[in-house]
Chain A
Amino acid sequence: MPTMASNRAIPAPQVDPTNKPYFDAAREGRLLIGRCKDTGRYFWYPRGCSPFTLSNNVELVQAKGTGTIYTYTVMRTKEPYCVAYVELDEGVRVFTNIVDCDLDTVRIGQRVKVVFKPTQGDGPPATMFTPA
């Protein structure tokens, strides 16, 4: 019997002055990732400093929104859900959920694409992934 992703209530992420541009873009359906302007390297999760140089010479850039499942697990709670790290095509591994599919068919190496899911209250959407 398939395990369909549940419509569990998703807690709203805590928006702060530094991460606000990321979540504003999510409301517009765009997935941004951090980029260090000193080294040109992408990083995850978005933050106000470069994890490579510690300078604040950083920016947010739009990701393609596609990637590959690096690892995953299905939480077998009353409302089952799939937690995963997705390796974006830009190279960074993002902590996320795999949704809108039979969770028993999820596999490492599977191609996925971003989807935006509403969160509780007036929170910005969560960036999740579904089989491409």
Chain B
Amino acid sequence: MSINGKAYIVGAFEHPIRKADDKSVAQLHAEVAYGALQDAGLSKDDIDGYFCTGAAPGLGPLNMADYLGLTKLRHFDSTDIGGSSYVMHVGHAAEAIALGLCDIALITLAGRPRAEAMATGTAPRSWGVNVPDDPFEIPYGRTVANAYAMVAMRHMHEFGTTSEQLAWIKVAASHHAQHNPHAMLPKVVTVEDVVNSPMISDPLHRLDCCVISDGGGALIVARPEIAKSLKRPLVKVRGHGEATKNQNAGYTDLTYSAAVWSGPRAFEEAGVKPSDIQYASIYDSFTITVLVQLEDLGFCKKGEGGKFVADGNLISGVGKLPFNTDGGGLCNNHPANRGGMTKVIEAVRQLRGEAHPKVQVPNCTLALAHGTGGLLGTRHGSATVILERE
């Protein structure tokens, strides 16, 4: 079964808040759900499918469905592959709609790690209890930052990638963020600013890392007939792919990500190729995340990511592949430490022609959103969606 053309994104909302001292996580979920419904021109009781992750408070979807008053649900999914989950949920919602399991699906994300003063990247963290790899990694101080830094170190060793090339990814994001009034880091930075910022985990500097922010976002995915009855521009789901990559029984290769599998699956279903993509939302927990994914998705050859991102090639209106025109996780927002939701939302804005005029890609009809969740250097999930303006 193909989902190409079977579902549309009809509502999208990003919470403008970046520090939520006075709001609970559940309330943030409610506010983004309401925002996306308003955007779509729908109401709560139209929703019969609900998607969230382990970041939502409670047991799977149960407690949030209760809090939000979702009483018409006949399909739900709380599959969690970290920050990439929400990209995958778009694919799963389209599959469910194509199978007739639901008509209108709501996807929500919210969190407040900044208000809670969480050391997201630099404090060792387990994903739960009885996790079999923890005894072999937690004593060694595994953190988000060092699990990505080791990928960057190996990439530099194998391909000659430089800190200056990685810095260009942050520079491009900052050029976009200057036009976003909600961006946490709206100041344009230079390559020198990035490489001279404090070292966090060699070779990643502070400005190679994404922000820690509160907030969230929501999406509404609906059947074609419903989408066409609404007043918003039509954003069609054309293709989706998902994959996981792990340590391969101790024979891990850190030079690539699961995007080498999720990307081709999405491109095949959509019937398009990387060179057709006019705008790309690429997961940017760190600069190295972007570089590896661009290679793995086929925007350039393996090992040539450094050259590809240099000299502003990712800046809208300047380079060949405009990326993360909201400023991305590197400069705008990384709500709940999960960037997949905002990746899809900015792709929807681009396809609707509703990105900021300074970063809007002219006549943008084909876009990609891609996420990596978990740890690039140990085990992670990938999800890719390809969206088209009809």
Residue ranges of A at the interface with B (Cβ–Cβ < 8 Å):
8, 10-16, 18-19, 23, 33-34, 41-47, 51-52, 70-77, 81, 83-85, 91-97, 108, 119, 126, 128
Contact = CB atoms under 8 A, between A and B. Distances in A.
A77 B122 contact: yes
B202 A44 contact: no
B140 A96 contact: yes
Nearest to A18: B132
Contact of A71 (B124, B157, B250): B157
A92 B150 contact: no
19 contacts: A8-B141, A11-B138, A12-B139, A13-B138, A14-B135, A34-B250, A41-B249, A45-B250, A51-B249, A73-B152, A73-B202, A75-B201, A83-B141, A83-B146, A84-B150, A85-B150, A95-B137, A95-B378, A126-B139
A71 B202 contact: no
B252 A93 contact: yes
A81 B251 contact: no
A34 B132 CA distance: 14
Nearest to A94: B250
B16 interface: no
B141 A81 contact: yes
A41 B137 CA distance: 22
Interface residues of B, number: 38
B139 A119 contact: yes
Listed residue (A41, A73, A92) with the most chain B CB atoms within 10 angstroms of its CB: A73
Interface string B109-140: 00000000000001010000010111111111
Interface of B: 122, 124, 130, 132-143, 145-146, 149-154, 157, 198-204, 247, 249-252, 254, 378
Listed residue (B133, B134, B136, B157) with the most chain A CB atoms within 10 angstroms of its CB: B136
B354 to A, nearest CB: 40
A79 to B, nearest CB: 9
Given A73-B201, A75-B122, A75-B143, A45 B136 contact: yes
Given A91-B251, A93-B250, A75 B135 contact: no
A126 B154 CA distance: 24
A92 B153 contact: no
Contact of A76 (B200, B250, B378): B200
Contacts of B252: 85, 93
Given A93-B250, A97-B140, A83 B202 contact: no
Contacts of A33: 250
Contacts of B151: 71
Contacts of A47: 132
